Amino acid sequence: MTRSQVQDADREAVAQFIERHWRSRVVMSRGRVFHPHEEEGILERRDDEIAGLLTYRIDDEGLEILTLNSVLEGQGIGSSLMLDAIEEARRRKCHRIWLTTTNDNLRVIGFYQRLGFRMVAINLGVVDEARKVKPQIPEVGYRGIPIHDEVVMDLQIQPYL
């Protein structure tokens, strides 16, 4: 197991990983298109294969998590990557980490709540609009729940001085 920041040499493997897990090389957040393989990220490899990936971007609002995926559920990869992202945000003097997910993603919402994130907004109909740009977004998600809305989750942190 090795964990590292995404490097330029990793970009194509990261793009393929994103495409496999997100049905496209692009993701949407608040109506905006992002190319996660072009952003910063943390990856975990096992046997030279990507086992987990977290991509993010930093701006004036803080650190935004764009994607988080693990191919080995229940082994703590996602939690470890999130803890690394929190440390990176502190180190880079961010006061906030935030992300968006879809209204059907109840298991993931619970995961983030256990890490201390709070739901701070629900953007009604944003996913319906995003589907016009990214038609790969399914209309029905986990447990048959129709996907329409985006849930914004936020974690306030104290940066390192």
pTM for the model: 0.92
Output the pLDDT for position 82.
96
The string of pLDDT tens digits covering residues 9-38 is 999 999 999 999 998 999 988 888 999 999
Q: Where are the beta strands (DSSP E) in 6-149?
A: 27-29, 32-34, 40-46, 49-59, 62-70, 96-102, 118-123
Judge whether 48 lies within some domain.
yes
pLDDT above 80 (res 160): no
Judge whether 97 lies within some domain.
yes
Domain of 90, in residue numbers: 2-156
Judge whether 145 lies within some domain.
yes
Judge whether 57 lies within some domain.
yes
pLDDT above 80 (res 161): no
Judge whether 161 lies within some domain.
no
Residues in contact with 130: Cβ distance below 8 Å, sequence separation at least 6, in sequence order: 28, 31, 137, 150
Judge whether 139 lies within some domain.
yes
CATH number at residue 53: 3.40.630.30
The string of pLDDT tens digits covering residues 102-141 is 999 999 999 999 999 999 999 999 999 999 989 989 999 9
Judge whether 91 lies within some domain.
yes
Domains held by the chain: number: 1
Judge whether 102 lies within some domain.
yes
